[in-house]
Amino acid sequence: MRYDMSRQAKIDKMMCKPGYTWNETLQRCLGAYGGGGNDAPTIPETPAETPTGAIKQEKTKRAKGNGKSAPAAPPMKPLK
């Protein structure tokens, strides 16, 4: 080992590929500069559902049922 290298530089050279640095907390190599702000992936915009549409969907879902619920109880006889 070279004596003019810092401790971090020595670890980086032994543990990581060129351009990466060792992170002791994560115990893994990370990109040295963290990447630019323009490299972030973009999330495609999905149209927001209207409240009316959500209510319609919920009503149809409840009307169809999912087959997992217990059958409805028979109606009660009126009390005298």
Sorting pLDDT into bands at 50, 70 and 90, what band is 41? low
Sorting pLDDT into bands at 50, 70 and 90, what band is 63? confident
> For a pLDDT cut of 90, what percent of the chain falls above it?
5
- Using a cut of 0.75, tell me whether the model's pTM lies above it: no
**DSSP conformation letters of 20-53:** EEEETTTTEEEESS---GGGSPPPPP-PPPPHHH
pLDDT at 37 > cutoff 50: no
pLDDT at 1 > cutoff 60: no
Average pLDDT, the chain: 77
Say if residues 22 and 15 touch (Cβ distance below 8 Å).
yes
Q: What is the pLDDT of residue 36?
A: 46
